[in-house]
Amino acid sequence: MSKKPNEMTRVLEYLELQNRPYSLNDIFLNLHKDIGKTALQKCLDQLVASGEVKEKLYGKQKVYVADQSRFPAVDEQALKALEQRVAELTESVDGQKQAVQQAEAALKAISSTLTTKEVIAQISQLRQQNEAMESRLVPLKTQQSPISKEERQRLERRRSEAVLQWRRRKRIAREVLDAILEGYPKSKKELYEDIGIETDEDLGVKMPQ
């Protein structure tokens, strides 16, 4: 039995279902190359001859579209309703895309910063360093013998570096905790309690100027 009637039916059904112009090559690719180009051209020629498909010439290329008289008349109200629905869905999709982009940006920011465990460890280490520096500073403040200008400058540099590190790490910790809070179901205070964060204010520590 010849396969041609089945091929013609398939081509016609495809054009009616899509209801838009296609070139021979478009149809060939969209039908997954199941019908050879020569056979496909013959199907289209016969469908054009029968009036079921219209052929239009654009430059040197032919395009084929199902005969529009085969479709029911368009209800203007229904068409407007569909257009409104398309606009609503497009707006919804745009909003969801923006939400996804924001979520991806937040995830990237969290992924590129320290983990909560690392932040806690660094804060603890920084506090220990600060306490050690303070303990060394006390006798220096109270000692009677003067220190040299070079020693004082060296100490001041070390103090400035320590304060700078303190400020930088505190900022990093705050950024990470703020990023966690965006998806955390509880308050900031509860988050700090859950992961064991103690702030400078909790300990009565004031950052030097």
Helix H or strand E encompassing 124 = helix 116-142
Decide if 105 is inside a domain.
no
Residue 42 contacts residue 28 (beta carbons within 8 Å): no
Decide if 66 is inside a domain.
yes
Of the candidates 65, 63, 1, 11, the residue with the CA atom closest to the CA atom of residue 42: 11
Cα separation, 102 vs 106, in Å, equals 6
Band of residue 87 on the pLDDT scale cut at 50, 70, 90: confident
Dihedral over alpha carbons 18, 23, 24, 29 (to 10 degrees): -60
Q: Indicate whether 7 pLDDT > 60.
A: yes
Length of the chain: 209
At position 102, the amino acid (one-letter code) is Q
Q: Kindly state whether residues 131 and 66 are assigned to the same domain.
A: no
Angle, in degrees to the nearest 10, between helices 149-182 and 188-195: 110
Q: Which two tokens stand for residue 115?
A: 């983990």
What pLDDT digit, counting tens, does each position of 38-53 carry? 999 999 999 999 999 9
Locus of tokens 């479709």: 71
The pLDDT of residue 2 is 45
Decide if 42 is inside a domain.
yes
Q: Kindly state whether residues 8 and 64 are assigned to the same domain.
A: yes
Number of domains within the chain: 2
Angle, in degrees to the nearest 10, between helices 4-18 and 37-50: 70
Band of residue 111 on the pLDDT scale cut at 50, 70, 90: low
Pick 53 or 1 by higher pLDDT.
Answer: 53
Residue 113 contacts residue 168 (beta carbons within 8 Å): no
Q: Kindly state whether residues 66 and 122 are assigned to the same domain.
A: no
Q: Read off the pLDDT of each residue in 26-30 and give the average, rounded to a whole number.
A: 94
Domain that holds residue 129: 113-195
Q: Which two tokens stand for residue 122?
A: 């660094």
Q: Which two tokens stand for residue 203?
A: 């300990």
The pLDDT of residue 24 is 94
**Boundary-marking domain end, from 70, 85, 105:** 70
Q: pTM of the full predicted structure?
A: 0.37
**Boundary-marking domain end, from 13, 36, 70:** 70
